[in-house]
Structures are given as C-alpha cells and as structure tokens.
C-alpha cells in the first residue's frame, strides 16, 4: 500500500451542502431559508425565543442560591500528602499551607487549603491548614499525627 492509495471507508465522509449556488444545486436562491421573515435574514440569533409563548427557561421554577461571597478552598487529599512525604518533597513533621505550595502539591492558596480524607495515611503527619473534613482529622490522628485547623470554620 502506498500513500496515494489511502482512501476513507465507503460512506465515511459526506460532501457538505453548498447553499445558495444556483438552481441546479437544489438549494439555490433562498438557500433553504424560505421567503422573507426574520429567520431568512443574516445575523439573526433567536436562541430561547418561542414566538410569543413563554420560553422554557422562564416557565421552569428557579431553585437554589449562590452565595456571592462564599469561600473557595484549594483541596488536597491525604493520599497525595502521603505520596509527597514518601517522595521526600514534604517534611512530615511540619506541613503548613506554604510548604504545600512550595512542594508543588497545591498551585495557589485561594481562601485557604482544605484537607480531605481520600487515600491512606501511614506516616505521622503534623498538618496545619485552614480547613479539613472530620474524616481527614480522624485518619491523621489514627496514624498518630495531628491535624490543626487554623480558622474558626473547622470541619464540615
């Protein structure tokens, strides 16, 4: 087989319809847009418009609330912290938020760093962060370490 002999499978490709290219094409003159009216013109985007009927997005009930000033935490799993400690990128004796950023485990602090309990912990870790889940605190203490939450907003 040579390069010039390569062909796509039969029926795998289909030529696109060239609209407005004369009467012989079958889609000439108006190009399948019908006669006159808003939709026949160019530059028209009537996305949610339903011709005077109440649009679907307005008919559906609105629910929930997004708090505008909510805190956004950078999230770290215990398993990853353990991995970095094993690779000697983190010191198990004193793990702070700055140490987590320096090691490359967390990119940026945001409103603080929150530790979650995914993964296993075998080393005796001393962690000091802004937030932690109850399961994470329990897992670290079970391994003989301590997890201190620095702000008032402790575990969820």
- Residue ranges, comma separated, of all CATH 3.100.10.10 domains in the chain are 74-149
In 3D space, the residue among 121, 110, 116 whose CA is nearest the CA of residue 82 turns out to be 121
Q: Helices in 13-155 by DSSP H: which ranges?
A: 56-59, 78-86, 97-103, 134-142
Locate the DSSP E strands across 67-125.
74-77, 113-116
Phi first, then psi: give them for residue 4, nearest 5 degrees.
Answer: -75, -10
Task: Give the C-alpha separation, 118 to 101, whole Å.
Answer: 19
Q: What is the pLDDT of residues 7-37, one digit of tens each?
A: 999 999 999 999 999 999 999 999 999 999 8
Tell me: pLDDT of 93 over 60: yes
CATH code of domain 74-149: 3.100.10.10
pLDDT of residue 149: 87
How much is the pLDDT for 50?
Answer: 82
Residue 4 has pLDDT above 60, yes or no: yes
| Per-residue pLDDT tens over the stretch 30-71 | 999 999 988 888 887 778 788 889 988 899 999 999 999 999
């Amino acid at each position: 087989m040579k390069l010039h002999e390569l062909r796509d499978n039969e029926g795998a490709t289909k030529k696109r319809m060239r609209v407005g290219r004369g009467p012989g094409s079958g889609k000439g003159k108006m190009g399948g847009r019908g006669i006159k009216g808003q939709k026949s013109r160019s530059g028209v985007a009537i996305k949610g418009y339903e011709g005077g009927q109440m649009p679907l997005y307005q008919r559906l009930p609105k629910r929930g609330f997004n708090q505008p000033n909510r805190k956004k935490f950078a999230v770290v799993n215990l398993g990853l912290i353990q991995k970095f400690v094993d690779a000697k990128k983190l010191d198990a004796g004193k793990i702070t938020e700055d140490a987590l950023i320096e090691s490359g485990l967390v990119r940026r602090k945001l409103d603080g760093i929150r530790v979650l309990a995914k993964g296993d912990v075998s080393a005796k870790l001393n962690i000091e962060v802004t937030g932690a889940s109850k399961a994470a605190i329990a897992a670290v203490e079970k391994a003989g370490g301590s997890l201190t939450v620095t702000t008032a907003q402790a575990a969820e």
